[in-house]
Structure 1
């Protein structure tokens, strides 16, 4: 943490000149520049700046497959913020379902200008983004805790760890990409299975669809066989018995109605499966935008963080509802299984340290950041309860995560990387 503190001190001291982060600093220097504004500035002050700029349209690829998706609010909230904050000078053209460029191609599409802003999954490209994936593996040290507070702690920790990790930021910048949100932890990973798999013995000999290479190695240690399979193919594979279980997030699983064919949820309480790193990135067009426009797009990611978490929570409650309707079980894995998972990931983190893709103090850093976020989330007084009954006690209409968004935009790492 001393290294991080030193980095932030140096960064904050030079922010007026460089904007600090490699990716954002490059964007600010190469773009037209112009007048900017402070975060949280009055709308009238922003209007006075943007009303003198040429109108523009940006192409945005969110994570959702369609405007009717459970996840659609992630994209819609970004569009709403950007268009309102820019006084209508920036129009956002949403392209659903990664129709321009899929996850394997989207980074190239951002760099060459086919897409302006996009949700991406660098976790699908471990050889291109080793430091990003190493951080995802280190995130397995975070216990799942309760369904709401656990996700707030994990996602807040991921954002802070991402902004403070120069290796992660450099991997994006080296490919001509601008970081808007370096690491999105999204929802945790659970065993979503055709039969209940709660003990270590239950997993032996099973075919398990995995999302990351590190998950595959841990599944192997548990005695199961990992299967690398694109998510859209998972439903049919479970239905046909090609795989017995998938390590999946509850939100996209609920959207895909996977619980119709695999209704049993197995979850951890003392450790967790590694998360697939997600990110929001910008590319060529963004670097040529006036400073005020860059700031608006950047701010949109922080301001919409609360609504993004609300979407994850809504999907989680829906997953419980779907599992119950399909007469599935929702149970914690036993101690032996969780110990095997935790020990396996510790070994992978050590491997990343030895390879140089993770800092030697990554374990203590994750622990310190988690402790800080645990305290922050406790002060937010969010609704929480038992996962197995979440569909009963969670009220998506009443939940408010503005406090979480405020915490994200108050992070020194977030503030120091804001274009300036």
Structure 2
């Protein structure tokens, strides 16, 4: 390996400062291994962190972020997270960022994390259903979440994060392959269908070639009388442009960031049911175990901005995608009633599959997801988030900013998610 990566073997020379630093405690969540040293309490300031890093040797890490497009919202989210780590470490941590696929393809990421080509990555976890079986069961169970452009977008992220961290079989899917979980499942927004031509009735779906990115999409595509086709993200634009694909199921943010509105400008959303999510994950590789504890903790403690960036990515992309679809001669509309009914029946079959899964206690999984949906929907409402219209006129009633650097509207939900889910799973 040609990259020169220096890690601190220990922080023994650091005195226990009056900065809220305490002796190492028991391990939790994503921090089961570390090179040792004192730790710092959650809520420590940037100044506290900079002071604590003064005697730490420089650390250099390679991070492959979520998108092919460095200006996409998911890339901005990931790059900002990396920059915050560098800044809060006082420059002691350097993170080299790389576009998706530039070092490792979607299914090659675990190997790249294990052999040192990558230290951190957004991993397309749902692309490998056999290796990530419990993870996929969790994503299937999320079809219980009603479709919603604001509350549903926020809640889906919270539910996947909470249930993911709290389900041992899901965490084992990662750990058994040498990955350490920083965020178990980023849905990048709820799933929509984008199509080259409008699909206004059940007959329009007959024989449609539909791209999907998770196992449950095969059942959902079949229910619409279409056929699921395997096409990688990087090939989606050309496949839609040439007519190899008729439609694609993915988050609206992914479709917008990949430029697919130009060739597939007809967006369809369920009104009550939902398409299954195909989330990715934020993970670390083999070098995680060599990092001092304080470096691991920092990656978790700058998560509030990451989470609000995820919320912005999911929510704002719906508004922008609708506008771009119209500019390209398309539209954003609900599925017709008969297609929605067929999707709802398919979702019952998907939940039954989860209940009968050999990978997890399926009944418990469905119940835990349902309980988490209720909990986080209540929290969203408590914080003042509410649906004031339909997804088809979302731009008219959404109250947040369209500027990525202004996420004040979404930050309270992100902060609550950090407090309730990230902190209990923070390394210690």
TM-score by length of 1: 0.89
CA distance in 1, matches of 2:24, 2:203: 58
CA distance in 1, matches of 2:24, 2:293: 13
Please say if residues 141 and 369 of structure 2, whose CA atoms lie closer than 8 Å, have aligned partners that are also in contact: yes
The match for 1:10 is none
Q: Give the superposition deviation at 1:406.
A: 0.8
- 2:376 corresponds to 1:373: yes
Superposed displacement of residue 62, structure 1: 1.0
Q: Which residue of 1 aligns with 2:424?
A: 416
Verify the 8 A CA contact 2:207 2:226 in the aligned structure 1. yes
Q: Distance in 1 between matches of 2:58 and 2:370?
A: 45
How does 1:185-204 map onto structure 2 within 5 Å?
Answer: 185-204=187-206
Aligned counterparts of 1:158 and 1:150: Cα–Cα separation in 2 = 12
Aligned counterpart for 2:98 among listed residues 90, 95, 118: 95
User: Cα distance, 1:302 vs. partner?
Assistant: 4.2
Deviation, structure 1 residue 294: 0.9
Partner of 1:111: 114
Q: Give the Cα–Cα distance (whole angstroms) in 1 for the partners of residues 218 and 271 of structure 2.
A: 20
Structure 1 gap segments, 5+ residues each: 1-14
**Residues 383 and 399, structure 1, Cα contact 8 Å, conserved in 2:** no
Superposed counterparts of 1:218-257, under 5 Å: 218-257=220-259
| Equivalence for 1:62 | 65
**Once structures 1 and 2 are overlaid, which stretch shifts more, 303-312 or 393-402?**
393-402
Q: Distance in 2 between matches of 1:185 and 1:92?
A: 24
Write out aligned runs for 1:132-151 (5 A): 132-145=135-148, 147-151=149-153
Q: Which residue of 2 aligns with 1:345?
A: 347
Higher helix share: 1
Distance in 1 of aligned mates of 2:41 and 2:265: 49
* Whole-angstrom distance in 1 between the partners of 2:368 and 2:48: 39
SS in 1 for 2:183: strand
Moved more, 385-394 or 315-324: 385-394
Q: CA 1:112–1:174 in 2, change beyond 3 Å: closer, same or farther? A: same
Match of 1:53 in 2: 56
Alignment partner of 1:24 is 2:31: yes
CA distance in 2, matches of 1:97, 1:277: 15
Determine the structure 2 residue equivalent to 1:276.
278
Indicate how the Cα distance of structure 1 residues 45 and 298 shifts in structure 2: closer, same or farther if over 3 A, else same: same
Hey, what does 2:183 align to over in structure 1?
Answer: 181
Question: 1:73·1:311 contact (CA, 8 Å) conserved in 2?
Answer: no
Q: Give the superposition deviation at 1:94.
A: 0.7
Moved beyond 6 Å, runs of 4+: none
Where 1:60 maps in the other structure, the secondary structure is strand
Tell me whether 57-66 or 329-338 shows the greater mean CA deviation: 329-338
Contact 1:192 1:262 (8 Å CA) reproduced? yes
Deviations 1:91-122 (A, max 9, x none): 11111233111211111111222111111111
Report 1:266-415 matches (<5 A). Answer: 266-359=268-361, 360-382=363-385, 385-394=389-398, 395-397=401-403, 399-400=407-408, 401-411=410-420, 413-415=421-423
Contact 2:31–2:296 (Cα < 8 Å) also in 1: no
Q: Measure the CA separation in 2 of the matches of 1:256 and 1:241.
A: 17
- Equivalent-residue separation in structure 1 for 2:386 and 2:68 (angstroms): 29
Q: 2:273, 2:152 → 1: CA distance?
A: 11
Superposed displacement of residue 171, structure 1: 1.1
The residue aligned with 2:165 is: 163
- TM-aligned CA distance change 1:284 to 1:369, over 3 Å: same
User: Contact conserved, 1:36 with 1:49, CA < 8 A, in 2?
Assistant: no
Pairwise CA RMSD of aligned residues?
A: 2.0
Question: In structure 2, how many angstroms separate the alpha carbons of the residues matched to 1:101 and 1:374?
Answer: 37
Post-superposition CA distance 1:289-316 (Å, at most 9, x none): 1110111122233441102221233322
Could you tell me how far apart the structure 2 residues matched to 1:71 and 1:174 are? 27
Q: Does the 8 A contact of 2:24 with 2:37 survive in 1?
A: no
Q: What is the CA-CA distance between 1:393 and the residue it aligns to? A: 4.7
Q: C-alpha separation between the residues in 2 aligned to 1:128 and 1:120?
A: 13
Which deviates more from structure 2 when the two are superposed, residues 263-272 or residues 346-355?
Answer: 346-355
Structure 1 residues 255 and 42: CA distance shift in structure 2, 3 A: closer
CA distance in 1, matches of 2:125, 2:39: 30
Partner of 1:84: 87
2:191 and 2:108 map into 1 onto residues whose CA distance is 24
Number of positions where the alignment pairs a residue of Structure 1 with one of Structure 2:
399
